[in-house]
């Protein structure tokens, strides 16, 4: 099988565009000046052996009125990637949509599908290739954060299940529209994988049931659950699993340390579980940690990816997400979690050297298992 990515390691640019609970619109591409420095950002990726990336198409800026598109917010990114030779998986909806559009409405699904098809056509016109894209990023997390916890728009509580179903409808409509507009397009479905553990003496049943909820968006997309939404087995080509340092925790308590071997499930087990469930091409779509543990975390998680591969899970890549440090969603706190630091010097990002050195070591280790690193 042809490798999915042009390099095993990818760099992901944070591209969230939601309106926070206080009404402020986030735009992490603008906030990091990636829109202005895209050419140099992509070039710096290649200098570190990274030739594949995740990036975002900002729907709220592009659809200026219903059915009318201004592609200038993404053309600079698209053309910069093309010029440098970086392969990009594009998020079409990374938590944000145009103002005035009700996410629960039929119009949301219709307009999203039309926008997705229009971007697919643009991609073919600009590059000569069908796109690689994720219609709706992190459907399950999105539904929980915005539909149950009111962390960002639509700022609801108790409507997470309803929102999840609506986002699945939109993703399915977009998938069909994209494949019609650009045959050969690869569709990604990306969500976190988690493991909640019962406390000592706690009935494990409710925790196990909650753990099963993490599969709902993928199950709905493939028609295993809520078939009335229109899901079908080939609804996505690639499964992306997101895994951070805090994706396992005790029920109602703190995250579990990776060194708590008695309770912590090794990530390679979780990767294998996800692949066996759907049988799709699979990669680690997001992973990072803040500050000085960055290098150690990459070493740990890449060894887990390799162990998954040794045990038969065909992991096709690992994405440093974000590859560029940024300001936090909810406060003006610097999040030092990238290979590159936020503030440029003479137009280039400063490199976090310990992570760069570890990345080089891990690329060499990966070369023994995969042809492209």
pTM over the 0.95 mark:
yes
Strand partners, 187: 133
Instruction: Write the pLDDT tens digit of every residue in 290-313.
Output: 999 999 999 999 999 999 999 999
Of the candidates 60, 45, 62, 118, the residue with the CA atom closest to the CA atom of residue 94: 60
Instruction: Quote the percentage of the chain above a pLDDT of 70.
Output: 99
Which residues in the chain come in under a pLDDT of 50? Answer: none
How many angstroms separate the Cα of 69 from the Cα of each of 21, 58, 64, 101, 141?
27, 11, 6, 15, 28
The CATH number of 9-366 is: 3.20.20.80
Query: Would you state the pLDDT for residue 245?
Result: 95
Query: Would you state the pLDDT for residue 262?
Result: 80
Query: Would you state the pLDDT for residue 233?
Result: 97
Query: Would you state the pLDDT for residue 332?
Result: 83
Query: Would you state the pLDDT for residue 373?
Result: 56
Alpha-carbon span 64 to 252, nearest angstrom:
43
Query: Would you state the pLDDT for residue 42?
Result: 98
Query: Would you state the pLDDT for residue 331?
Result: 85
How many angstroms separate the Cα of 289 from the Cα of each of 78, 247, 258, 325, 337?
28, 11, 13, 11, 6
> Running DSSP on this structure, what letter comes out for residue 163?
H
Instruction: Write the pLDDT tens digit of every residue in 43-58.
Output: 999 999 999 999 999 9
């Amino acid at each position: 099988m042809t490798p999915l990515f042009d390099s095993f390691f990818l760099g992901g640019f944070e591209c969230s565009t939601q309106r926070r609970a206080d009404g402020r619109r986030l735009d992490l591409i603008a906030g990091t000046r990636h829109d202005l420095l895209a050419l140099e950002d992509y070039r710096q990726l290649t200098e570190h052996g990274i030739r594949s990336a995740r990036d975002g198409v900002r729907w709220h800026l592009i659809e200026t009125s219903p059915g009318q598109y201004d592609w200038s917010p993404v053309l600079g990114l698209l053309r910069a990637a093309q010029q440098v030779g970086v392969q990009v998986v594009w998020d079409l909806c990374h938590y944000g949509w145009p103002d005035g559009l009700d996410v629960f409405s039929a119009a949301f699904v219709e307009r999203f599908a039309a926008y997705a098809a229009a971007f697919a056509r643009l991609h073919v016109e600009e590059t000569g290739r069908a796109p690689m894209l994720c219609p709706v990023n992190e459907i399950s997390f999105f539904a929980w954060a915005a539909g149950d916890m009111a962390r960002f728009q639509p700022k609801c509580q108790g409507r997470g299940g309803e929102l999840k179903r609506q986002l699945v409808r939109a993703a399915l409509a977009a998938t069909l529209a994209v494949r019609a507009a650009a045959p050969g397009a690869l569709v990604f479905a990306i969500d976190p994988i988690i493991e909640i553990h019962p406390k000592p003496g706690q009935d494990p049943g409710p925790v196990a049931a909650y753990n099963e909820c993490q599969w709902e968006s993928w199950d709905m997309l493939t028609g295993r659950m809520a078939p009335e939404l229109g899901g079908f087995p080939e609804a996505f080509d690639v499964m992306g699993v997101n895994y951070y340092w805090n994706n396992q925790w005790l029920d109602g308590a703190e995250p579990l340390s990776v060194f708590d071997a008695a309770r912590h499930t090794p990530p390679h087990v979780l990767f294998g579980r996800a692949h066996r469930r759907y049988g799709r091409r699979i990669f680690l779509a997001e992973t990072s940690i803040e500050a000085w543990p960055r290098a150690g975390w990459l070493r740990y998680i890449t060894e887990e990816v390799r162990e998954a591969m040794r045990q038969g899970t065909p992991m096709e890549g690992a994405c440093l997400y974000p590859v560029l440090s940024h300001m936090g969603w909810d406060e003006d706190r610097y999040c030092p979690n990238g290979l590159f630091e936020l503030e440029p010097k003479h137009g280039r990002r400063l490199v976090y050297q310990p992570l760069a050195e570890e990345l080089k070591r891990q690329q060499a280790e990966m070369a023994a298992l995969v042809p492209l690193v």
